[in-house]
Amino acid sequence: MPRSLYFFPAGFVFIFFVAACRPTHVDHPPGYLVAAIESYPLQLDPRYSTDANGVRIGNLIYNSLLRADPQSRLQPELAESLRLLDERTYDIELRRDVTFHNGQPLTAADVKFTYESILDPNNRSPKRGNLRPLRAVEQIGPYQLRFHLFAAHSPFIEQLTIGIVPVASAVNPTAPGQVPPGSGPFMLEAAESGEKITLTRNPHYWEESPPLSGVVFRTVPDALVRVLEFKKGNIDLMQNDIEPDMVPWLEKNIGADVGAYPGTTFQYIGINLMHPILKQVKVRRALAYAIDRESLVRHILKGTGTVAAGVLSPLNWAYEDNVEHWPYDPERAKQLLDEAGFPDPDGDGPLPRFRLSFKTTNIDLRQRIAEAIKEQLERVGIELDIRSYEWAAFYSDIKKGSFHLYSLAWVGILDPDILFQLFHSSSVPPAGDNRGRYANPELDRLLEAGRATTNHEVRRQIYARAQRILAEDLPYVPLWWWKNVVVKKSTVQNFIPYPDGEMISLKKARLATTVP
């Protein structure tokens, strides 16, 4: 035994050197693009997936009737034509040249099955609530079907972006990584839990077959480590979730292709309108004047955002620019607060006019933003008490309405009908997301009309008015629209960024062979 003790350090050193001498192996097949994601997708089956990465990767495996393009407009994908027979019936003709990855042709029966599968309460799909306006799906012919709604509901068209699975697909996976076959540009090759998802090209794709041999989605949870892996060359592409200060560094130090593109993700401050102080519109306007959004975007976001006027970003077809913008004006803010009946008790001294709590999640960037806002509000005499929580507790609190102010973001905004979900008086949780309990009868009428008509121009005017009202009344203080930041090697070509971080353009992307 005694002698063997000396083997220990020797053995260890030996292993170390062996490891050091071995070349760091490239852990993906050639021709595959490696993208980094910050968390492993929970669910790829399009009937159930709600987590961002699950949806994005799912969109490469599955096709849907319609698909949003880089300008946030819905375009036909599987649907060759879409007609409104009347205001509650959608008639759809499918393409005839689509096959699933297992060779089966995609027909109307598959579409019908997919939607009924979601509607079936036994399958407990989280998307079932979205399909509430849908009464029935009727198959007219092998490639023709009709969606029957209960009543006119123009936002329903957004639900036609759900991926389609074959008839008789299992409700739940019976083995890890098992999902129903799709018809999309890529097929699922392997799913290593917590580690990576490997997709391989679909050679029989009905559009042209993707130039890439495949895509590997590597899970790298820590943002800094993602940057290091990128620097080491192990990653070809990553989108968002990068510390804003690292973005210029990446550009300068690695020669990466860095781009910040307009996005639709909307960051805002939610206000509890039942609060005695916050229910006064002058106070809310004072908040808007007091927060220097330009400065926040410039310094903390390092330009990866655009100061926002409202929920809908300029990319949205219903965006209305002619609304009240609230420039940074702390003097005006103080004035409004005085008018509202909250004078500063000691002028410029340390005593605040009043105190409010500000709830946030415990992510570093969010906390930093909260601290900066706190400082800005202090200058006009409002004291902010920052409370940071872990996500589930935070979410539970704000749904209950137990908050004064909080900050959060809305992702994936397509149809302006989201305003109904956010601001209609009936949308108080759990029925919707009107967490601040905003109630404005005029807005209510507008939003109800907006979803009842299918006339595009009428809707646009309705929502223009709605946005004007919201910008004046400020149930939210809008902060900014996040830009979509894409970092990639220069060998990655043809990758078109989508506003909400979608990866769909990987089907057209290619990896140029580098000249060493």
Partner 1 sequence: MLLFASAALFAPVLSPYNPLSQNLDQDLITHSAQHLLGTDKLGRDILSRIIFGARISLLVGASTVALSLLIGVGVGSISGYAGGFVDLLLMRLIDILMAFPGILLAIAFSAVLGPGLDHVIVALALIGWTNYARLVRGEILSLRERDFVHAARALGCRPTRVIVLHLLPNLLPPLLIQATFGVAAAIVAEGSLSFLGLGVAPPTASWGSMLNEGRQFLLVAPHLTTYPGIALVLTVLALNLVGDALQDRLERRIR
Partner 2 sequence: MKRYLLYRAALLLPTIFGVLTLVFLLIHLIPGDPVDIMLGETASAADRQELRQVLGLNQPLLVQYRSFIINLLRGDLGQSLYERRSVTSIVRARYPATLELALCAMIAALVISFPLAVCAAVRRGSWTDRTTLTVSLLGLSMPNFWLGPLAMIIFSIQLGWLPVSGRGGPDHLVLPALTLGLGMAAILIRILRTNLLRVMSEDYVQTARAKGLSERSVWLKHALRNALLSLVTIVSLQFGGLLAGSLITETIFSWPGLGRMTVQAIEMRDYPLVQGCVLVISLSYVFLNFVTDIIYKWVDPRISYGN
Binding interface with partner 2 (CB under 8 A): 2, 5-6, 8-9, 11-12, 15-16, 18-20, 22, 24-25, 27, 39-40, 42-43, 48, 50-51, 121-122, 124, 126, 128-130, 132, 172-173, 175-176, 192-195, 218-222, 224-225, 228-229, 231-232, 234, 390-393, 395-397, 399, 421, 430-433
12 binds, among partner 1, partner 2, none (CB under 5 to 8 A by kind): partner 2
116 binds, among partner 1, partner 2, none (CB under 5 to 8 A by kind): none
Helices 456-473, 281-290: axis angle to 10 degrees equals: 90
Q: Does 479 bind partner 1 (CB under 8 A)?
A: no
20 binds, among partner 2, partner 1, none (CB under 5 to 8 A by kind): partner 2
Q: Which one among 51, 69, 207, 243 touches partner 1, defined by CB under 8 A?
A: 243
Among all chains, which residue has been given the structure tokens 């220069």? 490
Alpha helices in 22-167 (DSSP H): 52-61, 108-119
Residue 342 CB neighbour total at 10 angstroms? 20
Q: Distance (Å, rounded) from C-alpha 108 to C-alpha 260?
A: 40
Q: Distance (Å, rounded) from C-alpha 163 to C-alpha 67?
A: 10
395 binds, among partner 1, partner 2, none (CB under 5 to 8 A by kind): partner 2
| 149 vs 291, beta carbon nearer partner 2 | 149
Asked if 291 and 271 count as a contact pair (C-beta separation under 8 A), the reply is no
The distance of closest approach from Cβ of residue 390 to partner 2 in the complex, given in angstroms and rounded to an integer, is 6
Q: Does 234 bind partner 1 (CB under 8 A)?
A: no
Q: Does 399 bind partner 1 (CB under 8 A)?
A: no
245 binds, among partner 2, partner 1, none (CB under 5 to 8 A by kind): partner 1
Residue type, 481: W
| 118 vs 223, beta carbon nearer partner 1 | 223
Total length of the chain: 516
Q: Does 245 bind partner 1 (CB under 8 A)?
A: yes
Q: Does 395 bind partner 1 (CB under 8 A)?
A: no
Q: Does 152 bind partner 1 (CB under 8 A)?
A: no
- 400: CB partners within 8 A, 6+ apart: 429
Q: Which stretch binds partner 1 (CB under 8 A): 174-182, 220-228, 270-278, 485-493?
A: 220-228
Q: Is the dihedral of CA 227, 230, 234, 236 positive or negative?
A: positive
| 375 vs 442, beta carbon nearer partner 1 | 375
The distance of closest approach from Cβ of residue 196 to partner 2 in the complex, given in angstroms and rounded to an integer, is 8
135 binds, among partner 1, partner 2, none (CB under 5 to 8 A by kind): none
DSSP codes of every residue in 265-314: -EEEEEE-TTSTTTTSHHHHHHHHHHS-HHHIIIIISTT-EEE-SSSS-T
Give, as one character, the DSSP assignment of residue 367.
H
Asked if 272 and 436 count as a contact pair (C-beta separation under 8 A), the reply is yes
Comparing CA positions, the residue from 377, 372, 406 lying closest to residue 244 is 372
Asked if 473 and 440 count as a contact pair (C-beta separation under 8 A), the reply is yes
Question: For residue 65, how many C-alpha atoms fall within 13 Å in the half-sphere facing its CB?
Answer: 28
Measured CA to CA in angstroms, residue 512 lies from 25, 33, 221, 489 at distances of 21, 11, 28, 10
Q: Which stretch binds partner 1 (CB under 8 A): 242-250, 330-338, 405-413, 440-448?
A: 242-250
Tell me which residues in 277-296 interact with partner 1 (CB under 8 A). 295
Q: Which one among 42, 393, 411, 431 touches partner 1, defined by CB under 8 A?
A: 393
Q: Which one among 75, 102, 322, 362 touches partner 1, defined by CB under 8 A?
A: 362
Q: Does 390 bind partner 1 (CB under 8 A)?
A: yes
Which residue spans within 308-372 are E strands per DSSP? 354-361
Q: Does 370 bind partner 1 (CB under 8 A)?
A: yes
- Is residue 446 classed exposed, middle or buried when 0-12, 13-18 and 19+ CB atoms within 10 A define those classes? buried
| 103 vs 129, beta carbon nearer partner 2 | 129
Which residues would be at the binding site for partner 1 (CB under 8 A)? 223-224, 227, 243, 245-246, 249, 253, 295, 299-300, 361-364, 367-368, 370-372, 374-376, 386-390, 392-393
